[in-house]
Amino acid sequence: MARVLIVGAGVTGSLCAALLRRQTSRPLYLAVWDKAEDSGGRMTTASSPHNPQCTADLGAQYITCTLHYAKKHQRFYDELLAHGILRPLTSPIEGMVMKAGDCNFVAPQGISSIIKHYLKESGAEVYFRHHVTQINLRNDKWEVSKQTGPPEQFDLIVLTMPVPQILQLQGDITNLISECQRQQLEAVSYSSRYALGLFYEAGTKIDVPWAGQYITSNPCIRFVSIDNKKRNIESSEIGPSLVIHTTVPFGVTYLEHSIEDVQELIFQQLENILPGLPQPIATKCQKWRHSQVTNAAANCPGQMTLHHKPFLACGGDGFTQSNFDGCITSALCVLEALKNYI
């Protein structure tokens, strides 16, 4: 039985796992490792420590599907809509730029429910707090080391974490990346920003006419969302949640500052936008060091194969573009490259 490891439990990794399971007739052991404490990657949904039903999307806020991808990736959208994982975005978002033919979707159970769906479909063994540090070649297999615990062996590996994290890996992998590939990988760049989730008690009223708003006049805050209102799941039993995304310049400037200091700065600016907000009962501040791809790997259609036998490839939005369709494209390209080896 082939042992397959997918590193990264975001959209690309989870979809690779699901597609691999669906398209492979032979039995295989499929593992997904992620260094975080839960799945989602940059499509993460945080929960209030006081009520797990009070949630906030700290990464992607909604999914925009263009006419082109509505046709090209129709089966993926149809599946998620049929399962109730996606629904059309009907709540008002002020300042949203809509192009002709675009369709926007929200995830009522939180944006990470997309990833959880694909991981469940894959039947993979999913492990969190598994931070990969080294990849070495041992007798035509990959030996993968992590920060804690013994190394494990695999026949095939797919890396889907942000490209700078791939370049930080130690071991034989450093010699397997050609000079040309290294230059392509080093040229991949990302924007940085912070996201702040605020959780409120049941019955709290946040009286604004919108569910989300793009802010253009603030040096710190770019987007604010009443998250449960955005997802159309308002309830008298569950408190509202608020999500704030910072501007990229703010994110870059304060990237190495403490989360506490950054959170305080965001609160100060939020008072200018929404004066007199009630006190939240919990907060969650998330640093997105690798937020959105600003420069993808050149001449790499969706993936980069680093080694053929045993197979090792990397994928993700660093090889396409930073949105749901970019991740689907990458997962399909990884599967195409991998099918000769499985």
Annotate 274-289 with three-state secondary structure: CCCCCCCCEEEEEEEC
Q: How far apart are CA 109 and CA 104, in angstroms?
A: 16
317 DSSP assignment: G
The pLDDT value recorded for residue 234 is 85
257 and 250 in contact (C-beta within 8 Å)? no
Q: What is the pLDDT along the chain (342 residues), one digit of tens a residue?
A: 999 999 999 999 999 999 999 999 889 999 999 999 999 999 999 999 999 999 999 999 999 999 999 999 999 999 999 999 999 999 999 999 888 999 999 999 999 999 999 999 999 999 999 999 999 999 999 999 999 999 999 999 999 999 999 999 999 999 999 999 999 999 999 999 999 999 999 999 999 999 999 999 999 999 999 999 999 988 888 999 999 999 999 999 999 999 999 999 999 999 999 999 999 999 999 999 999 999 999 988 899 999 999 999 999 999 999 999 999 999 999 999 998 888
Burial 35-70 (b: 16+ CB within 10 A, else e): beebbbbbbbbbbbeebeebbbbbbbbbbbbbeebe
Count the alpha carbons within 13 Å of 234 in the hemisphere toward its beta carbon. 12
- SS3 for 131-158 is CEEEEEEECCEEEEEECCCCCEEECEEE
Task: Write down the residue that tokens 């007199």 correspond to.
Answer: 276
Q: How far apart are CA 46 and CA 119, in angstroms?
A: 18
Biggest distance spanned by C-alpha atoms of the chain? 64
Q: Which residue from 91, 132, 149 is spatially nearest to 314, judged by alpha carbons?
A: 132
**Model pTM greater than 0.75?**
yes
Task: Write down the residue that tokens 């989870």 correspond to.
Answer: 14
The pLDDT value recorded for residue 311 is 97
| 34 residue type, one letter | D
35 DSSP assignment: S
The pLDDT value recorded for residue 290 is 97
| 229 residue type, one letter | K
318 DSSP assignment: G
The pLDDT value recorded for residue 341 is 87
Long-range Cβ contact pairs of 329-335 (< 8 A, separation 24 or more) = 329/302, 330/12, 330/160, 330/302, 330/303, 331/11, 331/12, 331/15, 331/16, 331/19, 332/19, 332/302, 333/301, 333/302, 333/303, 334/12, 334/16, 334/158, 334/302, 334/303, 335/16, 335/19, 335/20, 335/23
The pLDDT value recorded for residue 236 is 87
The pLDDT value recorded for residue 231 is 94
Question: 189: part of which helix (H) or strand (E)?
Answer: strand 189-190
Residues in the chain: 342
Torsion angle, alpha carbons of 212, 55, 277, 288, to 10: -70
The pLDDT value recorded for residue 313 is 97
Query: Would you call 125 exposed, middle or buried from its count of C-beta atoms within 10 A (0-12, 13-18, 19+)?
Result: exposed
Residue 209 contacts by C-beta under 8 Å, 6 or more apart in sequence?
92
The pLDDT value recorded for residue 57 is 97
